[in-house]
Structure 1
């Protein structure tokens, strides 16, 4: 068992599971953010619930933060080990003959996504923690929509969000599909599953881009 846990297969399996967990969170996060396009009051109600319910704040949020850190640390570690183990490089570049562009550049798209998460934490998570736990402001269930919209007043910040979601799509396009292969899901439904993961990798980031542009245009 100890040898299994130390093996590259076990590490890739753990990496895949953390990725699938983050994909589920991404869908949940998109669903809540999309409410801001439909109804400010509904978005405020759901955001207030997520921001104050003890189970979300005390359990799910720490698990999410751990999942993000684990996924990126493990990704960088596996990339480092793969480069160490690679004895012979390609004699010449042959496009997608050996692998797709997305698979060869997962580390770089991941770095952009990580930088975006830093921006996102700076814009939303850190101010939320300061608001609730440092400045100890009273609860205001109507503040969430205004705080979200204010972040998309700047064309530069909106552009950074849009660019980040493009890189997220590139990262997901290979990563989501390969996660299922890493956990051993390669049966007769694999082709349909690959189609679903490719669609997800395009639709969800496009949805986030739509939200950002929607609020930016409304701010003009």
Structure 2
């Protein structure tokens, strides 16, 4: 069963007298253990599609399902909890808090759940990405590639079903980008998560199990 499914999802924005169709009857799915890359030119609807998958926006029409549950049936509390525990995010600009150490940044998404202590998992994840000797370093003491590894560990802290990666190699050189993609690929298998990436980077496409091309809000092919 697919962990995330979009069925005929359309998103329209009203801009004065003009209607902008960001997504037009999009069908999409991603399975656990699969890396899917969404590609397309600027303005093609990639970010809107990622927001739909990440439950950050709602469709004008169509259906979004998470584990065969219809998202439109979720309460606000359900949506918040699903985003917190079921979905991890990796961004181009890392989005680490500068005053926190690496391990504290990784723990951050779990700090609102007082029923569980995630410190051991945070340490384990950082060790698995080769940062066992950087646990107490702040972001300004880490390279760009190391910061992105921290971001990947943070995305996995709550054992999500889906990891969304928005241009995860955009600020990295090619060799460092390849290292990051190796890490994402490994965690896709080890954690059995669905990784959905939005990218302009052909290097990331090479690592994907499946590539989806989006042009003018329409999936090609």
Fold in common (TM above 0.5): no
- Structure with greater strand share of residues: 2
